[in-house]
Amino acid sequence: MEIPKIQTTLPYEDFTIEADRTWVDWIREADDPRKNHLKPEALDDLLVLDVSEGSIGGLFASSILAEFGADVIRIEPPGGDSARKFTPFGYLYKGTGLGYLMEGRNKYHITLNLNKPEAQDAFRRLAAQADVIIESFKPGVMDEWGLSYRHLKEINPRLIYGSVYTYGHFGPEAGCGKPNADICDQARSGVMAVTGEPEGPDGPKPWTVPTKEGNWMGWYAGGGWLAFGILTALHHREVTGQGQMVDVAPPEAELRFCDYHIQYYHATGTLRGLVGAYDSSVFPYTIVKTKNGYSFIAGFSDPNWEGLTNIMKEPELRAQFPTIFDRLNKENQPAIHQGIEKWSQNYTGEEILDLVQDYVVNRRGPGIVATAWMTDIKDTFEDEVWWDRGIFEKGTDPFYGDVAFQAPPWKMTLTPPRLKWMCRPVGGDNDFIFLRYLGIGKEKLKEWEKKNIV
């Protein structure tokens, strides 16, 4: 067979350095996150009830809505959400774990013991006024309380009701009874089947196993897709006045991020397996050792491979693997990887970036090479560029004080999302919210407290 030569010219990627200053200056002024508080909010007409429990997914979904301006009421059992204890080494900050603290943003925090009829009734009255409900229980739990969508739609046909649970609220496994967990979301998503070091010649090792993504990616994917479903349903409601139920299973949310796994299996009946530092569809596109750590480096298409091997001054390596088919060949990838590492270990990650930028920016030859040195949590957090971009913020919270955290990632010229406060202690907003929405005053609340309703 004649192997076709791939001429990927990256048609729309014009890597000229002379960026249009007019645009850059204009947009920086127009979407500067420091001016977010001067602008209106996209979702400030919405009331959201987040009654999720033990799920960062539910919390993240309501965080997104709260960042865009929705009034979000977090409803926890009187002892607090079990997610308040998802925290490294059991570390608490002013009584709350760090995982929850990050996703308590801009929300009101109240308590309700939904096992009690009075609490169920209070919830129902809140639901009658709400636009959105978010829950993460096993299917049937809210239903038993008379608070599932099929009940609430009778009192509020405009309601959008979102559920997020590992197995979802329908389908043959929905009733399996297992609790939700990020590790199982990731395990069921397919991402772990391709993340991890493949077995080497020495046979299996403790680390040659399917490996999860370092963060709670399953939960975050589930929460992100739930917010997507809710906002999509919101547009439909805008047009028709009709609410509906949105159901998300986090493994499926993450599966939607799993490239072409399913398509590849459909087309060929084969699987990719653990890829480690290699990649099945672009290579080299890999992590290599450097003098002072690790760097990512890529040079996949023929011109880019030429660029990379020019920078490395390794024309022989180029000649050895001349086409993308050679470079995508599983058998060849270790040799290519080693070839690059032989070079990269002589430089620091910063030096490699400088070499690459010099080549690309000054057009010293064909091809675009992308590289980045691996920053750890400390490096990233201390990098002023991200602070300048408003990606991290240090805010003064009335209860938690001066704490730094990740801000919403969107920049918008008209209705940017923003941070107002960080979190609240368990039941911190009972007085305000019960009065504001249910006309329940302090005396009654005290009575309810004694009865373990709040």
Partner 1 sequence: MSREDYLAWTNQAFDAAKIFAKPEALRGIRILELCTLILGPAVPDYLGEFGAEVIKVELPGAGDTMRSVTPYGTFWKNASLGQLPQNHNKYHLALDVHSSVGAEIFRRLAQRCDVVVENLRAGTMDRWGIGYQQLREVNPKIIYIALNGFGQWGGYAEGRASYDAVAQTVSGLLATTGFPGRLPLKTGVFVGDYFGALFGALGVLSALHYRDRTGEGQFIEISQGEGLMRLLDWSWIYYHLEKYNRPRTGNRDLAICPSDVFLCKDGPVALAAGTDEQFRSLCQAMGQPELAENPRYAEVLTRLKEENAVSLLEIIAEWAKTKTVAEINKLGEEYGFASSPILNAKDQYESPHFRARASIFEYEDPILGKMTEVGSPAKLSATPGRLKWANKPVGLDNEFVLRKFLGLRTYQIQALAEKKVIGKWVEMPPGRKPPSDWDGKAGVIM
Residue list 408-447, contact with partner 1 (CB under 8 A): 408-415, 417
Q: Are strands 96-97 and 107-111 parallel, antiparallel or unpaired?
A: unpaired
Quickly tell me which residue has 């407290």 as its tokens.
449
Residues near partner 1 (CB under 8 A), total: 200
Q: Is 347 in the site for partner 1 (CB under 8 A)?
A: no
Whether the Cβ atoms of residue 317 and residue 336 lie closer than 8 Å to each other: yes
Structure tokens at 140: 């049937």
CA atoms 138, 143, 147, 148: torsion sign: positive
Q: Is 357 in the site for partner 1 (CB under 8 A)?
A: yes
Site for partner 1 in 233-272 (CB under 8 A): 233-236, 238-239, 242-249, 251-253, 255-268, 271-272
Q: Can you tell me which of 51, 368, 426, 445 binds partner 1, judged by CB under 8 A?
A: 368
Site for partner 1 in 170-229 (CB under 8 A): 170-184, 186-197, 206-207, 209-217, 220-222, 224-229
Report how far residue 224's alpha carbon sits from residue 134's, in angstroms, rounded to the nearest whole number.
12
DSSP secondary structure string for all residues of 2-28: PPPPP----TT----S---HHHHHHHH
Q: Is 40 in the site for partner 1 (CB under 8 A)?
A: yes
Report how far residue 185's alpha carbon sits from residue 60's, in angstroms, rounded to the nearest whole number.
15
Minimum gap (Å) between residue 445 Cβ and partner 1 = 27
Give the distance from CA 428 to its chain's centroid.
Answer: 27
CB-nearer residue toward partner 1: 22 or 316: 22
Residues 6+ apart with CB under 8 A from 223: 56, 57, 58, 59, 60, 61, 63, 64, 164, 250
Residues 6+ apart with CB under 8 A from 36: 390, 416, 417, 418
Site for partner 1 in 10-29 (CB under 8 A): 10-15, 17, 19-20, 22-24, 26-28
Site for partner 1 in 43-62 (CB under 8 A): 43, 45, 54, 56
Strand partners for 373: 295
Q: Is 8 in the site for partner 1 (CB under 8 A)?
A: yes
CB-nearer residue toward partner 1: 225 or 448: 225
**Contact track, partner 1, 311-330, x by CB under 8 A:** -------------xx--xxx
Q: Can you tell me which of 47, 85, 199, 322 binds partner 1, judged by CB under 8 A?
A: 85
Q: Can you tell me which of 78, 113, 116, 168 binds partner 1, judged by CB under 8 A?
A: 168
Cα separation of the two ends of the chain: 73
CB-nearer residue toward partner 1: 372 or 438: 372
